[in-house]
Structure formats: C-alpha cells, structure tokens
Structure 1
Amino acid sequence: MSPSDLPLQRANADLAFAPQLGPEAMAAVAASGFRSVINNRPDGEGGPGQPSSESVQAAAEAAGLQYAHLPVLGSMQTPEQARAMAELLASMPKPILAFCRSGARSARLCALASEFTPR
C-alpha cells in the first residue's frame, strides 16, 4: 500500500481519521508523515477477518510509529473514554492517525475529547 492509497480524512495538521487499517498499511502511514496511531476498534468487532490490535501494533512499531489501543463501541463513547482519548492526543507525537471501522467513531471520540483537559 502506498501513502496515496490511504483513505484519510484530515481534521487538521495534527490529526486525521481512517477506516480500519491493517498491519500492511502501517509503513504507508509512517511514509505519510504520521508519528502515532490510535486504534479505536475493539478486537473481534468485525469478525475473524479483522486484524488484531496486537498485529497492527507490531507493524506500527516496526514502521517507527507510536501505537495506542483505546477500544470503544460504535454506539457509545463514555466520558472516561473521551478523557483517555484527550490524554492520548495530548501526549502522543503528532501528527496522529486515529482509526475504527469507518473513521466516524474516532472523529466523534476526538470531538468529545476536546471537552477534557488532560491532567
């Protein structure tokens, strides 16, 4: 996969969203200039064909990316999860790429996270 093949939606210079990414995409993510990846999709949500967080993490780290797994349900994001996302967004190297099944959940979580100031 090349950087131009990544299905990105940019929020700003420091943050973008994407639908499900697998291990094979992590080199392209790094080549696109991202320094961190946040996976908001619970393992197994999409069935056995969905890559595990562990496999994506290994590929992300091999590509030189910092990785975090903050799984949230598509139907609901809690204040605790929004606070945890705010802390990740404040502490991880930028730019950051957050992904889930479609990218919408990650975008909603980031919007909720903006209400919290990390400690």
Structure 2
Amino acid sequence: MDFNKINDQLTVSSQITPEEVAILKEKGFKTLICNRPDMEVDPGFESEIMEKAALEAGLNFAYLPIFPGQFPEELIEETARILSEEAGPVYAYCRSGTRSTTAWALAQSGRMDPEEIISQAAGAGYDMRGLRPYLAG
C-alpha cells in the first residue's frame, strides 16, 4: 500500500484492497475516492465492494471513475467539491495514482498557483508539468 502524500489534504496511490481500507481509518483518513473504473479491476475490487469497506470503516466514499485520458468537467468539479466540503484528509486511488493526482491538479486550477500544484505533485512522485497550460487557466 502506497502513501503518496500530495499535501495535508490529499494522499494518492495505486489500487488498494478492501482489507487495506481499515488501515486508512487508522492513519486518520476521513474520505476515500475511487478513481478506478470498475471495468479495469479484478473481481473483488469493484467500487461497490470498496464502498462497503469504506463505510464499514467509517469513511466517506466517492466513486469518480476516470477513464484514461478523460477528465470531464463534471468530474473535476466534483473532485474540487469533495476536497473542499467533505471531511479530510482524503485518500484517492486509481491504477497508479496518476489519474487521481491529475484530477486533483485540475481541480486546483484557479485556486492554487500552477507552479505550486506542479511542485506538490512532484513531491509525491507525479509529473504534472504537461498540465501547466491547463493549470494556468
């Protein structure tokens, strides 16, 4: 289980297991975002199973699937809403953590300086320099 901390508000990673959700609660996370589409996962890792594990652990849960290369405005807006309104810190996962990081970065456009977004992502091991034109608004 990876803990790629973007900032105090968000940590991202690759796919987690239902059993690992309890660890998130122990580490102080309050909300879990699943950015991995169900069609990508093996049986036992579908969003319904992950949601059940999250709720049993006392975490909020959001299923915001991101298909490779597709970041619709509604998804970015919902990511921004969750990060600003739901209890944090937030833990988000996808296949590698890149889509979760990209959704966060795009959700911060206009809220944070683009260089700070890129720097925070880089600190967690994700290169968001290619998003610079989008982050600048």
Change (3 A) 1:116 1:24: farther
Q: Which has the larger radius of gyration?
A: 2
Runs of 5+ consecutive residues of structure 1 not aligned to the other structure: 1-5
Q: Which has the higher helix share?
A: 2
User: Is it true that 1:33 corresponds to 2:15 in the alignment?
Assistant: no
Runs of 5+ consecutive residues of structure 2 not aligned to the other structure: 112-137
Percent of aligned pairs with the same amino acid: 34
Q: SS of 2:69's equivalent?
A: coil
TM-superposed CA distance for 1:50, in Å, is 5.9
Residue matched to 2:8: 13
User: Is it true that 1:98 corresponds to 2:110 in the alignment?
Assistant: no
TM-score by length of 2: 0.75
2:9–2:83: 8 Å Cα contact kept in structure 1?
no
Residue matched to 1:55: 49
Residue matched to 2:76: 82
Runs of 4+ with deviation above 2 angstroms: none
Instruction: State how far apart, in whole Å, the 2-side matches of 1:45 and 1:14 are.
Output: 27
Residue matched to 2:104: 110
